[in-house]
Structure 1
């Protein structure tokens, strides 16, 4: 019985890790998409995720909802979709404040959100968190995605970017 439990845990971890790698790529593509095709694909990839799932998945679901809201037809629908998406991201951070991936996602959403939505309060906090925790990220895949983000981001200084390059 212990073997079966151990086997299922290992398989579940592998599937989650592989799934997160795919989701990270889809997030990056959706965030850089100029139309809604990749955003829709990203959203559909996460539609079955709920707040009981891994916090990284919950945060990505929030990002997918927030990105999808950009293409809503009315201003009201855009705002409501954005608020719903942000609620998932904030829930993930509240549940596990020291998890790096939800902070990375929140920073990306905050940086690219129009000022009128007033979702920029945690930029400095999340930026500092990423810079401090970067060297401790065990996943090479996640580390690569965060590095790519930092190097193209406008919220990081040249000196901060250089410190990431040197790690």
Structure 2
């Protein structure tokens, strides 16, 4: 495993709207997860074009929220775009607030996004296990897919983890 070191940044709250699914890390690692299909549905159904009030040039977010407990519990993954304002959504769309927080930001190695993001999460869990002085809040973590992910086979993704002040 390649060591991964974060940078830190304070962010204000913002809204993300998209489609979502509830899962657990155990389910995903057992090979019967919902995350790959959620991403596939997002792109095949062109969900981004259906999101009201999305901000132009918004990166795509993979937002991990509504945690049951910690990394071992269930959570909601929302794939979507940043929106200008909270709005009522219809159909399969869900809108969530990314909380204002201090974030540890981990950047994946450059390469295939799907593989590198999965490997980065393992490295992130390991990093937090070795840095008990920095505690996750489990209030809203996200993967940021910006212009560096235009080619998904040669991508670099930032993963933001909400931490206690």
Shorter-chain TM-score: what band? under 0.3
What TM-score comes out, normalization by structure 2 length? 0.27
Larger RCO (alpha carbons 8 Å, 6+ apart) = 2
Larger relative helix fraction = 1
What TM-score comes out, normalization by structure 1 length? 0.27
Pick the structure with greater CA Rg. 1
